[in-house]
């Protein structure tokens, strides 16, 4: 299965600033996704990162707050914009689309906003 590298692994940011998280996959994948995992909770899908076009956002998430890029089949970025303490969470990148291999996750970015 694909191996995902995600960085930074953690960061502490000031409110009002923005952070860009990078996700690199070691092989070309059909689909890439971004999830948020708040403390002690399950994973919530933020959006599907589409190669060469605008990301598809889930209910409750908007492009102005979470702009996403996907310039090719192996790389994507998620930006958390104008951060507030409520954005403190773990952000996870996932890649998949081939059912035989399942869907793989990066190790996540632990974000703390102060």
Partner 1 sequence: GESVGLHLPTLSVQEGDNSIINCAYSNSASDYFIWYKQESGKGPQFIIDIRSNMDKRQGQRVTVLLNKTVKHLSLQIAATQPGDSAVYFCAELNQGGKLIFGQGTELSVKP
Tell me: does residue 88 bind partner 1 (CB under 8 A): yes
3-state SS, 68-92, equals EEEEECCEEEEEECCCCHHHCEEEE
Closest CA to 24 of 69, 86, 84, 90: 69
Nearer to partner 1 by Cβ, of 19 and 93: the residue is: 93
Tell me: does residue 104 bind partner 1 (CB under 8 A): yes
Q: How far is CA 93 from CA 20, 32, 37, 62, 72, in A?
A: 12, 7, 11, 17, 15
Binding test (CB under 8 A) with partner 1, winner from 18, 38, 72, 112: 38
Shortest spacing between CB 58 and partner 1, in angstroms: 8
List of residues contacting partner 1 (CB under 8 A) = 1, 4, 6, 31, 33, 35, 38-45, 48, 85-86, 88, 92, 94, 96-97, 99, 102-108, 110
């Amino acid at each position: 299965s694909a191996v995902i590298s995600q960085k930074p692994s953690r960061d502490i940011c000031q409110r009002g600033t923005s952070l860009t998280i990078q996700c690199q996959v070691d092989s070309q994948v059909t689909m890439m996704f971004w999830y948020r995992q708040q403390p002690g909770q399950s994973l919530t899908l933020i959006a599907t990162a589409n190669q060469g076009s605008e990301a598809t956002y889930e209910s409750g998430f908007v492009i102005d707050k979470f702009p996403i890029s996907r310039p090719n089949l192996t790389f994507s970025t998620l930006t958390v914009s104008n951060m507030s303490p409520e954005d403190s969470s773990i952000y996870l990148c996932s890649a998949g689309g081939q059912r035989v291999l399942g869907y793989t996750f990066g190790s996540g970015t632990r974000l703390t906003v102060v």
